[in-house]
Structure 1
């Protein structure tokens, strides 16, 4: 419904016209803005994948202490506002910030290097926010990979690198595709980070949409820009589908589409397995560091994930009213203000209630239906499900508001929770389907019948037969 509202607004409802779309095509500045959006999105997605894979791998294969530390580093940023984390990067990358001071002290540079208000700052800030979204889908798949397969490959003469390339990496590809998909479409809808860290030459389409909404109140043109962004993303994914199997993490089971996905997966697996001998030779020339190279690198990256959060916590004890590093003096006045203000406390409890309702609405059966159900037009449904994180949040919020007004839910906590659920459902679907796609569907009917067969009212013969069928078969002599 929200997409329908945006579509109608883009055509100038109630005065139908194509002027908004013609204006976009006639002005080359909007083409440049769209190109900037795609370039930044692809760069951040690629960098996030390179930095996130070692962390996800260490989370799936490391020891309990390492896994605990890495999980804290991945999850904790979710509890910190994106706005606060972006301001922490202003402190870190500023002209007199921590990074600049360290580089000057080490003698790497003779004067501060500009790292803010340019594309470098945008990419760094967006990568920090996107990495957890890339790690979690990959982890859900990596955690289900049997480590005995790697040990078997090592026992048969494969080096650690060869065992990884021929066994672990191919089995983790569904999670990789899910993470890349989720990261890319989130990058296209970013607003806060590029607006605060970017310069005039790095304007993204979300910033232009926000300017049309906030400054000019031109909802029709903002909706047209949103529709152009959505169509561009869908075309981009369709063109790259031979190399980027979007159906793989989203559970397509159609014969035609499924055969194409399997063929691409087998081709990639054969290519990776063909490099096993090369990896064996390469392993002799690379320093192994006692097998701790990847965990050490993952731990270093985890520290970088935690650093902005720690900076925010450190600045919360500042006596200054502004972000100043280092803090001039320490004080608890910020916490005292929060605990003594009934408005802040009421807002906190309202946020908790809305979050619980939104989580309950987002974690429904949609992911299971998309991965297992025989649904026609599944591609169109997936496009609709993913659209709220492709489109700018402010535009989706306004379109949702129009829907809530018609339903009489505006200004209510349930209506606000419904708006949050619309934005949360795509994240749930992509992450959950990445794990459900490999679940054997033959397990579902017995699991559904189990409560009936084991109920006290069920005949004893049914329970005994169920017990016999569930017992493991005897091993052959």
Structure 2
């Protein structure tokens, strides 16, 4: 992590000051040019809008994931997890199909007579906000539902027994206890939005330029590395400041299994706002005046939002079987022609094989290093453990564009830029946090007495791991390897910067196809990516159930 993550960021920092010809001219250029302030303003406006929408739309889903019945929870969990592990590029492509002037949304509105001519929803801020909100919602929902799962619902029943209406019980009990998850979700989503690249680049217009797009332009088109480094450092500083402020309220590592229950309880006591308790009587009055839906209003809303989460994924799957030579809804007929076009095109197959090779290398590196790191954090007495945890989680919190640019500078110095090994190293750094989180969670549930018994009978640490620990956590190792593979296989950003035109992976070929000429074959490729994500989820669920039994 120090060699492949910290060192590149240090190099990026030095380059931003013009190394070896030291100066602050690049930062001065940013400060003097109002265009860059406009870019930052646009980035913040879009990030705030998307974060707010994701919260208001995601909270009902997270609430029903905790309080709903088994069927609702199963459906909503599928609606959240499947899009989350589906390629961002595939989901962005789905919104291009949905929001275009001849897209599905305009077609339906025209047929219903709601509009007389197509509405422009693509290549403007509306499209960017819609696409980003859909892609980011699982990242908002999962932290909130994690915290909500630890709330004792008996407290709600106690409030109702003491005269609180459903609304008053929610506002005075459940909402304050869920605020740590809300803060963590808002924090993660806002930071992720600041570093978003793929969706705004494909759905936005010239007036919706975000800072990540400007960094990409400086690197890829203008080859102005030092200025790109300065822009990257500005974005990185903004993210670090937000993280520092957010950590005052809620340490994110608590959601990932690195903190004890006492810390979580303490945080809840601090975050639970007392002023909410004063609105109980008003909420009772308001609840009596609101129309009653028999307790079904929130479940219906949550399920409707779950359907919207699945809609783009299902749309791509549906259109991939269309017999039309272009995107047409409804499909005039059904055919496998798009899949045949994929399998018979040597360029698509070559790109797929390149993705598989890179993903396998990245999976081996991330799983090997991540498992060792997870054991060190769980079983060892590591000095500066909190700093180590922060380091482990940083690659998935920091803007991907910044990390990719920094990694390029390091690989260029050792001659690995534009190679599959170099790309695999970048992917491995991004995948290690997922491996660590999965393995640490399983090690926390593993009874250490088995390992102590083996050691007391004469087994050395390696033999103990091979005969006792490894078989018990093997499902977690397989799941971690699957997620590492998926993380690498679906990446576009690292390929853009580390591949420098020499490596064409499957997502990179999709990226070029979407930007140049949208072909129905892309829908088949996107559907295959969705199927891969679904297979990973199903296999992971099967392995966990088998292990628990």
TM-score band w.r.t. shorter chain = 0.7 to 0.9
Q: Within the alignment, does 1:353 sit opposite 2:360 as a pair?
A: yes
Structure-1 residue corresponding to 2:34 = 28
> Equivalents in 2 of 1:268, 1:356: separation in Å?
41
Q: Counterparts of 1:48-197 in structure 2 under 5 Å?
A: 48-197=54-203
Higher radius of gyration, 1 or 2: 1
Structure-2 residue corresponding to 1:391 = 399
Structure-1 residue corresponding to 2:452 = 452
My pick for the range that moved more, 372-381 or 358-367, is 372-381
Q: Within the alignment, does 1:2 sit opposite 2:8 as a pair?
A: yes
My pick for the range that moved more, 303-312 or 350-359, is 350-359
CA 1:270/1:89 → structure 2, altered by over 3 Å: closer, same or farther?
same
Any idea what the Cα deviations from partners look like across 1:387-427, whole Å, max 9, x if unmatched?
6644342x422422443466676677665443124334567
> Equivalents in 1 of 2:131, 2:283: separation in Å?
34
> Equivalents in 1 of 2:221, 2:413: separation in Å?
26
Q: Secondary structure at the match of 1:113?
A: coil
My pick for the range that moved more, 131-140 or 343-352, is 343-352
My pick for the range that moved more, 303-312 or 349-358, is 349-358
Any idea what the Cα deviations from partners look like across 1:314-362, whole Å, max 9, x if unmatched?
2222345654444454321332344466536634643652463365245
Offset of residue 366 of structure 1: 6.9
Q: Within the alignment, does 1:269 sit opposite 2:273 as a pair?
A: yes
CA 1:135/1:263 → structure 2, altered by over 3 Å: closer, same or farther?
closer
CA 1:369/1:35 → structure 2, altered by over 3 Å: closer, same or farther?
farther
Offset of residue 92 of structure 1: 1.6
Q: Secondary structure at the match of 1:289?
A: coil
Q: Secondary structure at the match of 1:171?
A: helix
Offset of residue 56 of structure 1: 1.1
CA 1:444/1:298 → structure 2, altered by over 3 Å: closer, same or farther?
closer
- On the 8 A contact 2:89/2:199 being kept in 1, the answer is yes
My pick for the range that moved more, 146-155 or 117-126, is 146-155
Offset of residue 63 of structure 1: 1.5
Q: Within the alignment, does 1:19 sit opposite 2:22 as a pair?
A: no
Query: How much is the aligned-residue C-alpha RMSD, in angstroms?
Result: 3.8
> Equivalents in 1 of 2:444, 2:205: separation in Å?
53
Any idea what the Cα deviations from partners look like across 1:255-302, whole Å, max 9, x if unmatched?
xxx99x958954643122232222222221223312121111011111
Any idea what the Cα deviations from partners look like across 1:349-388, whole Å, max 9, x if unmatched?
4365246336524577579969x98976968984895366
Offset of residue 143 of structure 1: 1.9
Q: Counterparts of 1:238-277 in structure 2 under 5 Å?
A: 245-251=248-254, 265-266=269-270, 268-277=272-281
- On the 8 A contact 1:6/1:227 being kept in 2, the answer is yes
Q: Secondary structure at the match of 1:20?
A: helix
> Equivalents in 2 of 1:59, 1:208: separation in Å?
39
- On the 8 A contact 2:9/2:406 being kept in 1, the answer is yes
- On the 8 A contact 1:209/1:225 being kept in 2, the answer is yes
> Equivalents in 2 of 1:424, 1:445: separation in Å?
22
> Equivalents in 2 of 1:345, 1:208: separation in Å?
29
Structure-1 residue corresponding to 2:321 = 317
TM-score by length of 2: 0.69
Unaligned runs of 5+ in 2: 1-6, 256-261, 459-549
Offset of residue 155 of structure 1: 2.6
Offset of residue 224 of structure 1: 0.6
CA 1:138/1:7 → structure 2, altered by over 3 Å: closer, same or farther?
same
Equivalent position to 1:291, from 292, 295, 298: 295
Structure-2 residue corresponding to 1:302 = 306
> Equivalents in 2 of 1:362, 1:246: separation in Å?
28
> Equivalents in 1 of 2:19, 2:392: separation in Å?
21
> Equivalents in 2 of 1:368, 1:162: separation in Å?
46
CA 1:351/1:293 → structure 2, altered by over 3 Å: closer, same or farther?
farther
CA 1:343/1:367 → structure 2, altered by over 3 Å: closer, same or farther?
same
